[in-house]
Amino acid sequence: MSVNKDIVQRYMNAYSRWDHAGILACLTNDIEWVVPGAFHITGHAAVDNEIEGHGSAGPPEIAITRLTEENDVVVAEGMVRAALEDGGVLNLSYCDVFVLRDGLISHLTSYLVLIPDEDAVES
């Protein structure tokens, strides 16, 4: 596995445990995270504040179905399943585009699609 894919894999593994220190260790100090239609944040403190998500009951299950790399860009595709505080479950299909600089993630754009319960794919 390439260095860039490895850092993305470490980030995803840390995120699936809500390991704040592990996540932040994968990011540049000036990290930008964009979720179109939801938020655009910059910096470790802002990312740290978003890790656990609003309304989440615990760390998500993250399944990576594909990692693709070109130069300093890694694209991760997969599924996320997360329990919610209200007892529900959030199922998402995602495509994350990671831009890396000096071996760390400097920009992340997360494209998320809600999957209705009846169409959810087990991870």
Task: Report the alpha-carbon distance of residue 97 to residue 56 in Å, rounded.
Answer: 23
The fraction of the chain above a pLDDT of 90, given in percent, is 89
Stronger pLDDT, 43 or 123, i.e. the higher one: 43
Q: pLDDT band at 122, cuts 50/70/90?
A: low
Q: Does domain 3-119 have CATH number 3.30.2290.10?
A: no
Q: What is the mean pLDDT of the chain?
A: 93
Confidence of residue 123 (pLDDT cuts 50, 70, 90): very low
- 54-106 pLDDT, tens digit per residue, is 889 999 999 999 999 999 999 999 999 999 999 999 999 999 999 999 999 99
Is the pLDDT confidence value at 119 over 80?
no
**How long, in residues, is the chain?**
123
pLDDT at residue 48 above 90?
Answer: yes
End-to-end CA separation in angstroms for the chain: 22
Residue ranges per domain, the chain? 3-119
Q: What is the pLDDT of residue 54?
A: 84
Predicted local confidence at residue 51, as pLDDT:
92
